[in-house]
Amino acid sequence: MTSIKAPKFVRENQWAGHSNPLWRRRDKKKVTILYNMFERRKSLFIRTYLEKAGYKYRDLGDHKTEDVHYGREWGSRMMCNPVYFTSGSFIRALLEIEKNEGLTKEQIVDQFIFLGGGGDCTPCRYGMYAEEYMRVADDAGFKGFRILILNSDLLPYPPPPKDAAFKFSTMFLFSFCMSFILADLMHIGECAVLPYATDKDAAIKTLNECDNLIFKAFRNPFFYFTLPAALFRAGRKLAAIPGEKKNLPLIFITGEVFANYANGDANYNLRRFIIDEGAEPLPAVFSHRARYECWRKKTYFYPYSKYSETKKERKFWKKYCNVLAAQDNTTRFLFNLFDFFFNQKQFSGKGELLDLDMLSALSEPYYDKAINGGEGNMEIAEAIYYHDKVDGFITVKPFGCMPSSGVSDGVQSKIISMYPDLNFLSIETSGDNEVSILSRVSMLLFKAKQKVRARESQVNVKAPSP
């Protein structure tokens, strides 16, 4: 008879998850918030809220390639790339504080808190971010490190305790909304002027000056007055950048929200690469993505407000949908208002908020709008919408992304067969295959330039002889 050996490692206590203790109001002054809002401009502008509300803060800076390595080392297997980038940047920061500032792990747990993104548990992994942050901190020895999760939901459940030091208050959400709109406008400016600028270094210097101008105005307690003036001045400065008149191919970039908007190592600095290679990227507008989030939830939950079993439930969902509609309308209103002062038209900016119902109608036969997760039907809708408006269409998705790589790209093959002229490229970012990805982008740009040349020669042929 063979005896069965007992396993070598036995977990004695039932695992009860990671703890995330409350950051109490009485500790407000001794705790520093570590944060990074996708990329440097959003991080810069949201800093104004943290300053005005009296928090100590530390911007972790843009995500770097090495963050993926930290994320993979400390995080769970088989996650998607943004989880590795964000949790990696967070754990790298903690380890660097320990090494460079001589604090013990316990002191770091006591004196710092991390503000990161996370969401509802759709078919993608967004709902698992919070757990991952706590896991990497625990496993690296920072037991009980506190995490604040910025969720796109506006009705927090359960509501935060009264003595919480930080609440996702209406003022915070309003400031966050303003921050990404301001960042959008500057990105629109960068995409419009940099490809044509005669002196690119000088243009980058002007862009940085405009960032600071807007930041200082937004930091001012009377920003209702100072911000419009700063946007007006920034718009004029960008319009005054000397540029060449030339026909450059127009490239639209879409894809998973992190890979698309990180504008740095997380997407191989794709936008700058496209500009350096002589093309104009169409700016990815985060305000559009934020509106889509509201639209998606409103579409999904609206039937609940009609057909839920009890009156109380119907009332709850009705209120929820109204809040989403208010958020959507506020985003659109502020974007248009700020753009009025910034006036992107004066430097041929091409940032726009598209009609989400129109986009949904375009994609409806191929992608059900009720399919949730990631970018949902958006990438398909955008491919159809832009097929005759751009010279190249790139969709960026992180390695291991379920909705974008697993679902959306499958449907895209149908869209490409319908529009064979669509110069389409899907790239998967893993954080460490830069050369092979950018060489594929180069091929797309080569074809895009051929399209521009073909258009120019058609115009020349049709032009009447003098």
Contact positions vs ligand SF4 (CB under 6 A): 80, 82, 124-126, 256, 258, 374, 398, 401-404
CA 399 – CA 416 distance, rounded (Å): 22
Q: In the complex with ligand SF4, which residue's Cβ is closer, 18 or 397? A: 397
Q: In the complex with ligand SF4, which residue's Cβ is closer, 32 or 430? A: 430
CA 227 – CA 182 distance, rounded (Å): 10
Beta bridge partners of 146: 113
* Least Å from the CB of residue 65 to ligand SF4: 17
Q: In the complex with ligand SF4, which residue's Cβ is closer, 351 or 398? A: 398
CA 181 – CA 161 distance, rounded (Å): 30
CA-to-CA dists, residue 280 to 40, 192, 195, 326, angstroms: 21, 7, 6, 34
* Least Å from the CB of residue 304 to ligand SF4: 23
Go through 150-181 and write b for each residue having 16 or more CB atoms within 10 A of its CB, e for each that does not.
bbbeeeeeeeeeeeebbebeeebbebbbbbbb
CA-to-CA dists, residue 206 to 182, 203, 238, 241, 334, angstroms: 16, 5, 7, 8, 24
Contact 109, 143 (CB under 8 A): yes
Element (H, E) at 90: helix 81-101
Distance of CA 426 to the CA centre of its chain: 18
Tokens representing residue 381 in the block: 């809708």
Q: In the complex with ligand SF4, which residue's Cβ is closer, 423 or 426? A: 426
Secondary structure of residue 43 in the 3-state scheme:
helix
Q: In the complex with ligand SF4, which residue's Cβ is closer, 128 or 213? A: 128
Q: In the complex with ligand SF4, which residue's Cβ is closer, 125 or 387? A: 125
* Least Å from the CB of residue 258 to ligand SF4: 6
In the bound complex, which residue of the shown chain has the CB atom lying closest to ligand SF4? Answer: 124
DSSP structure string for 140-188: TT-TT-EEEEE-S-SS-SSPPPTTBS----HHHHHHHHHHHHHHHHHHH
CA 282 – CA 43 distance, rounded (Å): 22
* Least Å from the CB of residue 219 to ligand SF4: 31
CA 361 – CA 365 distance, rounded (Å): 8
* Least Å from the CB of residue 376 to ligand SF4: 10
Q: In the complex with ligand SF4, which residue's Cβ is closer, 325 or 371? A: 371
* Least Å from the CB of residue 259 to ligand SF4: 7
CA gyration radius, the chain: 24
* Least Å from the CB of residue 76 to ligand SF4: 13
DSSP state of 369: T
CA 281 – CA 192 distance, rounded (Å): 8
Amino acid identity of residue 83, one-letter, is V
Q: In the complex with ligand SF4, which residue's Cβ is closer, 399 or 424? A: 399
* Least Å from the CB of residue 263 to ligand SF4: 16
* Least Å from the CB of residue 142 to ligand SF4: 24
* Least Å from the CB of residue 406 to ligand SF4: 8
Q: In the complex with ligand SF4, which residue's Cβ is closer, 374 or 431? A: 374
Contact 42, 98 (CB under 8 A): no
Q: In the complex with ligand SF4, which residue's Cβ is closer, 259 or 275? A: 259
